[in-house]
Amino acid sequence: MENYLITIIGPTAIGKTALSIKLAQHFNCDIISCDSRQFFKEMKIGTAVPNEEELAAVKHHFIQNKSIFEKYSVGDFEEEALKTLDTLFKENPLQILVGGSGLYVDAVLKGFDEFPDIDSSVREEINSAYEDKGIHYLQEQLQALDFDYHQKLTTENPQTLQNPQRMKRFVEVCLGTGKPYSSFIGKRKNKRNFTPIIIGLEADREIMYNRINQRVDIMMNEGLLDEVKSVFKNKDLNALQTVGYRELFDYLEDKTTLDFAIEEIKKNTRRFSKRQITWFKRTENTKWFDYQENTQEIINYIKSKL
């Protein structure tokens, strides 16, 4: 039988977890989580990890399976997730992938292009220049070395131009190979042994924002501040550079009031959800459903694609 991967995408707090559990119970299969923040065992409340009842209802993979002290890349996740799926497909040719991290969804569904190894001295040079000159150095370098890709980001994904790690990588490839970063994109064909059935959940913006605000209030009531305090001494770790933690770090450093920090979490989560929507709306062959759609209708759609 052909393998199918039901893939549930959409912005944060839209109801992906609840739907994935209902579908997994119906089709008697497992769930692969691709929420890049839920990997870390020290980050439970602030990443909206499924609760004990939800985790007990269906077998989940890649939930709190790493530590914030471990280095774990999207490439590592791709490799581990595909191996896990290979095993699961032997038991059931239909499995579920769910999460709001678009890059990690793409890693499983499509994989990434292959880039040459870059000499470490190039990376060191770029890091040093970035420390001296800031993000503008990276932006100017990319514009000079790969004008077309810089323009593409400016138009389609401007927040990436503000991401130091991503920008360093782009410039590193350009300088290390003498070729534009974009010249390596789309060259590698990553074969997959499954067909994706992609389900998107959406809601009116006001509804979505209200759900986000309510979720943040719930997190605070469940003890998010104590969770953040427990990792505060390690606040510079890459895994902790995320919404819900950065804002409370500022509070713990007496830079803001607690009320202000909470409102910043809500605001920044709403901004994050907008970026998620922009990313996922570009995902081809996605069937979009209202977040309140009857689950049976979604099941019927999935069955029509099998």
CA atoms of 39 and 60, how far apart (whole Å):
11
Among 140, 163, 184, residue at a domain's last position: 184
Q: Look at residues 184, 204, 238 and tell me which one is the last residue of a structural domain.
A: 184
Q: What is the CATH number of the domain that holds 272?
A: 3.40.50.300
- The answer on whether 286 is annotated among ligand-binding residues is no
Picking from 153, 184, 215, the residue at the C-terminal end of a domain is 184
Is the confidence at residue 192, as pLDDT, over 80?
yes
- pLDDT at residue 189, rounded to an integer: 65
> In terms of domains, do 132 and 31 share one?
no
48 is in an annotated binding site: no
**What is the rounded CA–CA span in Å between residue 306 and residue 300?**
10
Asked whether residue 89 falls in the same domain as residue 160, the answer is no
Same domain (yes/no): 256, 126: no
- Rounded CA-CA distance 198/82 in Å is 17
**Count of domains in the chain?**
2
Q: What is the mean pLDDT of the chain?
A: 94
User: CB–CB of 31/83 below 8 Å?
Assistant: no
Q: What is the mean predicted confidence (pLDDT) over 26-34? A: 97
Does one domain contain both 197 and 146? no
What percent of the chain clears pLDDT 90, i.e. is strictly above it? 86
Quickly count: other Cβ atoms within 10 Å of residue 52's Cβ.
8
116 is in an annotated binding site: no
Looking at the structure, do residues 126 and 20 belong to the same domain, yes or no?
no
- Is 93 annotated as contributing to ligand binding? no
Q: Do 95 and 142 fall within a single domain?
A: no
User: Residue 14 annotated as binding?
Assistant: yes
- The string of pLDDT tens digits covering residues 67-114 is 999 988 888 999 999 999 999 999 999 999 999 999 999 999 998 877
pLDDT at 1: 72
Q: Helices 120-133 and 164-177: crossing angle, nearest 10°? A: 130
Check whether residue 93 and residue 207 sit in a common domain: yes
Both 92 and 26 in a single domain?
Answer: yes
Containing structural domain, residue 143? 120-184
Is 189 annotated in a binding site? The answer is: no
pTM of the predicted protein model:
0.81
Q: Is the pLDDT of residue 148 over 80?
A: yes
Same structural domain, 93 and 206: yes
The annotation status of 281 as a binding-site residue, yes or no, is no
Residues 34 and 69 in one domain: yes
